[in-house]
Structure 1
Amino acid sequence: MRKTIMIVPILFLVLILGLSSIFVVDEREKALVLQFGQIKAVKEEPGLAFKIPFIQEVVKYDDRILSLDTDTIEVTPSDDRRLVVDAFARYRISDAVQFRQAVGVGGLRAAEDRLSSILNAQIRAVLGADQVTSDTILSEDRRVLMTRIRNQSRDLARSLGIEVVDVRLKQTNLPAQNLEATFARMRAEREREAADEIARGNEAAQRVRALADRTVVELVSDAEREAQITRGEADAERNAIFAEAFGADPEFFAFLRSLRAYENALMQGNSFMVMTPDSEFFEYLKQAERPQPAAPGRAAAQ
């Protein structure tokens, strides 16, 4: 009975020691076995692994691609036009042993602080280099600049046991104090372009008006010329008809002209007309007042 009581604690202690010596490595992790701060083993394959309980400890690091947002910084390209740049990077822990030796107990937080410093320094160096202007940074050529930043940061981050996978510029803006001046300059440029367009439009409108006025004058002149030609032809035709009518019956023609003269002379509004009674103007009126000879048939009837 006494032996049984002693065996139970021993078994319990053995179980605790056995469980303490086993650890699991996930497929998304890397593990280091440390003994008194010294690296004794590296476990990169997923599965079960063993360590000396109470003497050795296990430190695990994420083996996936991680993301890091850098602090917003100001850069000055070669054209002295300051820009505010915000970037982010993708990285992974490529060498767990070197990573542990570089950052120590600080872990991932310390590594990201040092990586952020490397990225900011390379961003300033690349974007502030000669022949790199703000227009280049804001154009499609920024991809070449981002590749250059990634390659230079990768070389420096390799000493931390980190592989920089990619670097991207999220935002590239002007500082707040420069925005108003930039907007004013852009507004002035747009207004100048608008004024140029208006001037060109007015010039084109003047040309169109001048062409239209000349066309109107030409059309009116042609129309008046055609009208004068038609009027002359009509007058000639009328005179020919009058001449023909006069030649056929001169007395009737003279009578018709006298009637027209009476009509024009005796119109309403003519105040006075002074002439002698025996004037030739009333020749046909005098003839109308003379008694007309009766017809032969009517005289016989009377």
Structure 2
Amino acid sequence: MGDSIDGSSSAAQSAQPDGQTETEAASGFFRRIIGVFNPSDDSETRMNADSAPVNGAPGIGNLRHMTVEDAAIPKADIVSVPATITKEELVHVFRDSGMTRLPVYEGTLDTPIGFVHLKDFALKHGFNGNGGRFSLKEMLRPLLFVPPSMPIGVLLQKMQAERRHMALVIDEYGGVDGLVTIEDLIEQVLGEIEDEHDIDEGQYWTQEKPGCYVALAKTPLEEFEAEIGQSLTDVDQVDEEEIDTLGGLVFMLLGRVPVRGEVIEHPAGPVIEVIEADPRRIKRLRVRLPEAVNG
């Protein structure tokens, strides 16, 4: 559930190579998207929009052919908080999840009452949650609710018009079925958008502390094994001839795509935590070697 695009960012006024500001470039991007649904726009845009996506690849055609349920993360993966959460617990959730917006519910997630923005919390209490009377309900912002069958292009228009960055997907019975962000939608057109938390291009992993690594799922398995000095394929559950990446290793150990937050204990000792994933693929992992797990 990445949530890093913020139209109010001061960086949006920085100069672009063609002389446009980022704000102007973004506006042009949204105008082109809106043009997909406007029959008065040029034929080339309409032709590209009518082209069906190929093998799930990003492209402007996805705006018509994909629905919200295709891009949303499932309910089980939503990071949300109850209305009764304490200030200290909320700080902990913000830190652990890396999210800037968290849905708030009463009782269960099927009764959402709004969402809390990290910016609002930090302005009142500081990033460490110090000082001031804490009232979560006073900080709540309204949620956007959408059906799973809505085309993602229509939702993108709606989010841009209403200046919303997140929406809850509601099923036919009124329950929460998933969550989608504006970044999720744009990635269906442009491809994956990496943010400041992502690992630099060409660098597959970083070492958080001795024995603990954060790695991309596409990390070549042989390179990572050389880094940690341990084989991860010399176990019964794994056929090393069928996998090349760290994400492939996790998939083979489980037999399915894991959900975010899931922890996998490797038979050889390391513990692998799924930091980021969507229903289609694994993105980032945390690998703790035995010395870090037991230390």
Q: Same fold (TM over 0.5)?
A: no
Larger Rg: 1
TM-score range, shorter chain: under 0.3
Higher relative contact order (CA 8 A, sep 6+): 2
TM-score normalised per structure 1: 0.20
